[in-house]
Amino acid sequence: MTQTAPTSTPPGKRMLSEQVYTHLRDAIMRGDYAPGHALRPQDLAKEQGVSLAVVREALVRVVGEGLADRLPNRGFAVPAFSDRRWQEITEARRTIEPVVLRMSVERGDVDWEARVRAAHHRLARTPAFVPEEGEYYSGAWSEAHRVFHRTLLEGCGNLVLLETFDRMWTASELARRWSAYRRPDRDHAGEHRRLEEAALARDADTAAEVLAQHLTQTAAGLTGCPHHELANDA
């Protein structure tokens, strides 16, 4: 009895799907699509010059990262600005990350201290906004920001906790950009400097408190923001 070999996605289709995925992800991150904006596969397929199957595959990946929703009988859309998930993610981060930071401050060695200092230096020297990338955070700053926060926690030495941080960070990236858009006068540099100083001073209590306040500020940037303001500006 012969067995049929499992089918695989042709290389060309995989490449096209990757291109469409990258385009969609970058466009959502830049704010090209307003919160709640419908992502119509037919329109995207025409715009990108690809098949519906390629677009749907890319959309599924974007949904998996929390950058879009799959709505029953209504297709795909950018998450709504008022989506409760943003507050739930913030609650989870405020619950978990200060605890992990305490562990990191208590367990981190000299190499960890050096990495924290280097990560903060890179973050402080990277422009948060660049005209060619729209009104949201630049890609370079976003990556430096992620590395700084993760490095702060890496001293804990617990890979499971760090993987949990990675998942929550990805899930909150869009909300983080929306929050910054709404509060351009926020002192991010000062908040990050205080985090670095408290961590390197081995002051676990202060570090945890500063981090909790930092996360609360991000959530506050979303609370009470009228949907139409972002929709009109996007």
CA dist list (Å): 234 to 27, 98, 134, 231: 11, 33, 9, 5
The reported pLDDT for the residue numbered 182 is 67
Q: How far apart are CA 96 and CA 94, in angstroms?
A: 6
CB 155 within 8 A of CB 107: yes
Q: How far apart are CA 76 and CA 68, in angstroms?
A: 7
The reported pLDDT for the residue numbered 43 is 93
Q: Which of 196, 219, 218 is nearest to 207 (CA)?
A: 196
Q: How far apart are CA 225 and CA 1, in angstroms?
A: 63
What is the token pair recorded at 145?
A: 């920001």
CA dist list (Å): 163 to 22, 95, 141, 146, 193: 23, 15, 21, 13, 25
Q: How far apart are CA 211 and CA 217, in angstroms?
A: 10
Helices and strands in the chain, H and E counts:
10, 3
The reported pLDDT for the residue numbered 147 is 98
Q: Which of 125, 143, 136, 215 is nearest to 178 (CA)?
A: 136
| Residues in the chain where the model's pLDDT stays below 50 | 1-7, 225-234
The reported pLDDT for the residue numbered 227 is 39
